[in-house]
Structure 1
Amino acid sequence: MIKVLTQEDDRQCQQLIQKEPAENLFIIGDIEAFGYEQDFQKIWGDFDEDGNLRGVLLKYRENFIPYSPGEFDAEGFAAIINSCEDFSIMSGLKAVTSKVEPFLSREFQSKRQMYYAKLDNSESLSEGELHHVEKATIEALPKLVELLNSIPEFSGGSFTVEKRKHGMEKGVARSYYIERDGIFVSSASTTAENSSSAMIVAVCTHPDYKKKGYATECMTKLCRDVLQEGKELCLFYDNPEAGRIYKNIGFEDIGYWMMYKF
């Protein structure tokens, strides 16, 4: 049985999604930030015959994310998605979205598959002092944005001081950087932080300062600090070279993350 969840269902919902904090980063974060009673957000739950919650479907604005650790009513979730006119994206773990996809009535325009990796312990992180890796303050954001906008791979990004400032002030984002010769030459950031997990994004090094281990040092410092707060870290990647860096510091692949655009 599928029904719309309310605050009364929060305990059962949290028990399900908190089993895999990294996998459910977006669902956990959106529920923490906006709850169950917003016009732009709705959460459905799929219950088995004994009343146990076995799957959830989050709709945040025009985005859907289905999740279940096992069996669930994929056709029922698809029927909800099909009935909505204002959706343009479905994303989630491949093990889940692949069950929903056959029942979708609309054809997708694009389908992207990325590796999804997580880190839940510091065993593989370097223990060396990293005093030269600094945590960005609001005052540091212009130099950080200048670095991000200089990275060829990020050419399609829309990095602004205002967006970065907003994320930091809301407590959902942080950045670490290395400065050399008066400019920021490498950095790593989080986004979508919640009480249980955080996503790593925008790991980069200025083209003139590559092959010095700077990105790994930024990542190491960031991961140490976030793990010490009791959170899991996760990230997407589709570049095998980047994947090697992440695995060297302990990240493990946990599946694929899919994004369908309609």
Structure 2
Amino acid sequence: MIRLLTEQDRVQVMKYLQKDSFGGAFIIGNLLGFGLENHKDQRRCGDYYGYFSQGELIGVLPFYNMGSCIPVFEDEKEVVTSFADIMRMRQFQVLIGMKKFIKPLYDVVSNEKEIVSYQESSYFVNKHFSPLAIENTTFSDAREINNNDAVEFIRRAYREGFHQEHTPEETKKIIEQRNAEEEFLFLIVDGKIVAQAYIQAVTDKINQIGGVFTLEGERNKRYGKAIVSELCRRIIARGKIPTLSVRKDNTPAVKAYVTLGFSHHDDYLIVKCKV
């Protein structure tokens, strides 16, 4: 049986997701911060579908207002078929998660969705942190500096680094709709923002890093590596494990993260669809 989940399902959903805190990181983080009810003005709220077998939850399929679909499930053909039926009816921009969850669904729905890109990535976990610090650099949270400067840099980062266009209003929500643990950091040199990175998912065990971007003219100066290192330092100080995903063909980034102590945990997929 598959149905929409409500706040009454929260305990059962959390218990299920915590079986795989890495695979369910995005859902756990959004659930902790924003709950199971869909508040349309919150980009990280959405519609959560749950698949139940003999009363036990064995799969969760969320469609977030920001346009992402992040499924997790147990190895059940019945779950994939039911989830795919719903995915055919729903619009989403990004299908994202561990390959073991994404690939079976992609194989079913790809003929009916116009695929823009298919990105093979690695999910990295850092249990052997080796920090990096660069002199004459400082870090500031996006919520603590001039709002216009923060908004314009983030818009540029999404446009140039991730091929996404956001309005100023949407970008302000990216900054504002975060919990206290979800730091959005800028690296600043001589009063100028040159790089960004943020915590995109929070659970009781991990903080997942994302959005790493350095201005084109400031690359090859280790700024991206330094800002990820600073986030790792803060995450570990909270007693949690830093994680992130990185494209397998992004050799410079892979090498940089490995030198910081990251290692491969699982295969990861990011599939972008035309809406």
TM-score range, shorter chain: 0.7 to 0.9
Match for 1:240: what amino acid?
A: T
CA distance in 2, matches of 1:33, 1:151: 23
- Cα distance change on mapping 1:243 and 1:10 into 2, 3 Å: same
Corresponding residue number in structure 2 for 1:247: 258
Give the Å deviation of 1:232.
4.0
CA distance in 1, matches of 2:192, 2:172: 19
Q: Secondary structure at the match of 1:95?
A: helix
Q: Secondary structure at the match of 2:60?
A: strand
Superposition pairs of residues 91-102 of structure 1, within 5 angstroms: 91-102=96-107
Q: In percent, how many aligned pairs have the same letter?
A: 25
Does the Cα contact within 8 Å between 2:138 and 2:189 map onto a contact in 1?
Answer: no
Match for 1:229: what amino acid?
A: R
Match for 1:154: what amino acid?
A: G
- Cα distance change on mapping 1:43 and 1:180 into 2, 3 Å: closer
The answer to whether structure 1 residue 257 and structure 2 residue 257 are counterparts is no
Does the Cα contact within 8 Å between 1:141 and 1:161 map onto a contact in 2?
Answer: no
CA distance in 2, matches of 1:202, 1:99: 26
Does the Cα contact within 8 Å between 2:70 and 2:95 map onto a contact in 1?
Answer: yes
Query: What's the Cα RMSD here?
Result: 3.6
**How many equivalent residue pairs?**
259
Higher mean Cα deviation, 135-144 or 111-120?
135-144
Give the Å deviation of 1:58.
1.2
The answer to whether structure 1 residue 185 and structure 2 residue 191 are counterparts is no
Higher mean Cα deviation, 242-251 or 182-191?
182-191
Superposition pairs of residues 41-190 of structure 1, within 5 angstroms: 41-49=46-54, 51-61=55-65, 63-71=68-76, 73-82=79-88, 84-87=89-92, 89-104=94-109, 107-110=112-115, 111-121=117-127, 123-126=128-131, 132-136=137-141, 137-140=143-146, 142-143=148-149, 149=156, 153-154=160-161, 156-158=163-165, 166-172=173-179, 173-190=182-199
> Which residue of 220, 224, 233 corresponds with 1:215?
224
Does the Cα contact within 8 Å between 2:151 and 2:172 map onto a contact in 1?
Answer: no
Q: Secondary structure at the match of 2:38?
A: coil
Match for 2:96: what amino acid?
A: S
Superposition pairs of residues 186-205 of structure 1, within 5 angstroms: 186-193=195-202, 197-205=206-214
Q: Which has the greater radius of gyration?
A: 1
Structure 2: unaligned runs, 5 residues or longer? 41-45
Match for 1:228: what amino acid?
A: A
Q: Secondary structure at the match of 1:115?
A: strand
Give the Å deviation of 1:221.
1.0
CA distance in 1, matches of 2:9, 2:61: 14
Does the Cα contact within 8 Å between 2:124 and 2:246 map onto a contact in 1?
Answer: no
CA distance in 2, matches of 1:8, 1:152: 39
The answer to whether structure 1 residue 9 and structure 2 residue 16 are counterparts is no
Taking structure 2 as the reference length, what is the TM-score of the superposition?
0.74
Match for 2:58: what amino acid?
A: R
